[in-house]
Chains A and B, each alone.
Chain A
Amino acid sequence: MKLIEIAQRLGLKVEAGVDHLENEVRGGYAGDLLSCVMARAKTGDLWVTVQRHPNIVAVAVLVGLAGIVVTEGGNIEPATLERAEQEGIPILVSSASAFRVVGELWDLGIRGE
């Protein structure tokens, strides 16, 4: 499923990487420990996290993620958005908790291990 469809179905706010919403989402991963994301997330996964500092962009580039969903709303540091634009990483924001976002993604057929 394309990221744009997920953004629309879940009502996610696109904060960065609007040119990359055609990215194909192949699976999902949720977690806030960056090393675990590095170890377990796969290329093409959508990553659900509460982290919002600029380093999440580096993680997404290196793992080859389809995008990042930042949960529990709030403002994202401008430095994070700036880096995401540079690197072409979509950042989508939900006001819901990670639990709910993952549940909704699962309902859409997005799977993870």
Chain B
Amino acid sequence: MRSRGAGTRTQLTKLEELLRELRVEEVMTRRLVSVSGDFTMAQVKELLRKHRISGVPVLEGEALVGVVSIEDVTRALEQGEMGAKVRDRMSREVITVFADEPAVEAVKRFAHTKVGRLPVLDRGGKVVGILTPGDPVGRAFRVMDLRYREQEQQRWQQKGLGLEDLLGEGASLVLRFRVQGEDFAGAGKASVQAKRVLGRLGLDPGAVRRATIAAYEAEMNLIIHTRGGELTLEATPHSVVVEAVDKGPGIVDVEQALQPGFSTAPEWVCEMGFGAGMGLNNIQSCADEFEIESEVGRGTRVRAVVHLSQSGRKDRLNR
């Protein structure tokens, strides 16, 4: 906070301003985990592990009476006293912060006291959340990022910029993804990435939703049924075109494959909730234009076109 490199000075000022502007309640984690003094240290250890946290407030009724942390647990463990009650092992001198104080006050308190967490109280003295040292600054950076993006989008909107202005008439933006067969760990990544990019371009959200749901189903088909293939999304000022192309094995009976509920997915795939026989139907119902062609041994090409809102078509999936 105190380093004054010339290049980072502007950002630091912004950060400081933001930490003054944001209230503690906007940067805290809302309290969901606490213990009573009756808990044993062994129970606390289990709780900390389960929630992956380093300390919890101790409450008697609604009153905050202490804090018990991973350091207290470690000490109890070393002394073989894991059966001891929390009320005998907790820190009673608890440093707190009020929910309506500026976030910068929490930052100062962390800097001066070196505690690992600050319980957050409302003015009635009730615990309403908890802060760890990274929370205020981390949250402030996220708010800065969000505001920057909003401003950027506003700038575009004010200028009346659409995709057309960005790309020029006749040009389009193509997102191309290689999809590996049976890559369930990476499944959905391409479509999620595409949604992020198309969303940032400021395209009609309903159309982006339909196009990326279609892309997801196509992506899953590549993963479940093929040795892999290519998924592309092409954005033009008027539409998003989703296309999935693979090199086999191909579909024996396309008409049958289009029947809702018809699936050739293996059982282990179905257990994960895939292979419901709804994929192609979903693509069809998301799309304004749909084409499929397939040849056994050669491969399959699925093409879905989603018109952007100029078409006046209501987004039926997003009523």
**Which residue of chain A has the shortest Cβ distance to B196 in the bound complex?**
A61
Residues from chain A with Cβ under 8 Å of B317 in the complex: 39, 42
Alpha-carbon gap, A54 to B223, bound state (A): 15
**How would residues 170 to 203 of chain B score, 1 for a CB under 8 Å from any chain A CB and 0 otherwise?**
0000000000000011011101100100000000
Structural contact, A35 and B282, CB atoms closer than 8 A? yes
User: Could you write out 11 A-B pairs with CB less than 8 Å apart?
Assistant: A19-B29, A32-B273, A34-B276, A35-B274, A35-B282, A36-B278, A38-B282, A58-B189, A58-B191, A59-B188, A61-B188
Point out the residue from A33, A55, A62 that lies within 8 Å of B213, measured CB to CB.
Answer: A62
Q: Is the interface of A mostly helix, strand, loop or mixed?
A: helix
B212 to chain A, nearest CB (A): 5
Alpha-carbon gap, A38 to B276, bound state (A): 11
Most buried by A among B142, B212, B220, B278: B278
Structural contact, A55 and B191, CB atoms closer than 8 A? no
Report the interface size for chain B: residues with CB under 8 A from the other chain: 33
Alpha-carbon gap, A57 to B216, bound state (A): 12
Residues from chain B with Cβ under 8 Å of A55 in the complex: 184, 187-188, 272-274
Residues from chain A with Cβ under 8 Å of B185 in the complex: 54, 79
B243 to chain A, nearest CB (A): 18
Q: Which of B278-319 contact A (CB under 8 A)?
A: 278-279, 281-282, 285, 317-319
Say yes or no for B217: interface residue by CB 8 A criterion. Answer: yes
Most buried by B among A4, A34, A42, A49: A34
Residues from chain B with Cβ under 8 Å of A4 in the complex: 30
Q: Which of A34-84 contact B (CB under 8 A)?
A: 34-36, 38-39, 42-43, 49, 51, 53-55, 57-59, 61-64, 79
